[in-house]
Amino acid sequence: MTRLDREGDLGVLVIDEPPLNLFGRKLIGDVIEAVAEVERSGVRALVVRAEGDVFTGGADVRVFDGLAPDASREFTTELLSLTHRLEDLPIPTVACVHALCLTAGFELSLACDVIWAAESAKFGLVERVVGLTPLMGGTQRVAERAGPARARELVMTGNLYDAATLERWNVVGRILPDGELVEKTMRFGERLAGGPTLAHGATKRIVRAFLDHGVRGADERTAAIGAPLFGSSDLQAAVRSFLEEGPGHATFEGR
């Protein structure tokens, strides 16, 4: 059962729909509910991972069987809404990807701030095999990270790409030995969850402003995004800690 676990201030969205974690109607609905729970929970960072032998075998093709164009528009809107809700969370998000990661699961990972992958992980947007193009925003998010030519290649070929290639393309942030992936990603998530949550949220907004409006457009918005941080308890306490004890001693409560 796909679920949201919690370890202190760290949320862990666990995809668990054996045997292949296929994104059919049920799994999509479960992930939507888990993200809604994240929004309500007050967690300060999120790791997205999966149980089983693969992260996901991709979309359950039965979802597309007999789907008419009008219904497909509604379905695509629903999928993109999930992508946006995960992407817009005001907390750091990390995808923890092992083994095979295809189509909808890869797109879900691309909605996270960073992707950490096992050495053996393989990724693909393979919708071409059924005459489709990615519907959850994967094409444009690969283009955002790797550039438009790489995105066209990845989607049009439908090939599988190893973690090392996608790290070189700036799609994957870090590669870890298979046996260390979960432990080290969780440790990273706990570090993020213990950090200045409001500042992390502001960082995400500034990066988004850059992506939407360019460097000068982000500059124009930085003061408005950053100013409220000076009223936060975390900043005030951290400044006092720095002045009294030096750097590295502050603790943060996410307020």
160: CATH: 3.90.226.10
Residues 25 and 121 in one domain: yes
What does DSSP say about strands 100-102 and 161-162: parallel, antiparallel, or unpaired? unpaired
Both tokens of residue 84? 């946006």
- Number of domains, the chain: 2
Residues 207 and 225 in one domain: yes
Residues 41 and 167 in one domain: yes
Torsion angle, alpha carbons of 41, 255, 190, 248, to 10: 180
Q: Name the phi and psi angles at 173, rounded to 5.
A: -85, -35
Q: Is residue 254 part of a domain?
A: no
For residue 107, what pLDDT is reported? 98
For residue 209, what pLDDT is reported? 98
Residues 187 and 218 in one domain: no
Range of the domain at 219: 197-245
For residue 236, what pLDDT is reported? 97
Q: Is residue 97 part of a domain?
A: yes
Last residue of a domain, one of 177, 193, 209: 193
Residues 186 and 223 in one domain: no
- 76-102: burial string, b at 16+ Cβ within 10 Å, e else: eeebeebbebbbebebbbbbbbbbbbb
pLDDT in tens, the chain (255 residues): 899 999 999 999 999 999 999 999 999 999 999 999 999 999 999 999 999 999 999 999 999 999 999 999 999 999 999 999 999 999 999 999 999 999 999 999 999 999 999 999 999 999 999 999 999 999 999 999 999 999 999 999 999 999 999 999 999 999 999 999 999 999 999 999 999 999 999 999 999 999 999 999 999 999 999 999 999 999 999 999 999 999 999 999 999
Alpha helical stretches, state H, the chain? 25-41, 69-87, 103-110, 138-146, 148-157, 163-168, 181-193, 197-226, 233-245
Residue of 103, 102, 104 lying closest to 30 (CA atoms): 104
Both tokens of residue 30? 């479960």
Q: Tell me which amino acid residue 55 is.
A: F
| Helix/strand/coil for 12 | strand
Residues 134 and 38 in one domain: yes
Residues 121 and 220 in one domain: no
Q: Is residue 81 part of a domain?
A: yes
Residues 225 and 99 in one domain: no
* DSSP structure class, residue 78: H
Q: Is residue 201 part of a domain?
A: yes
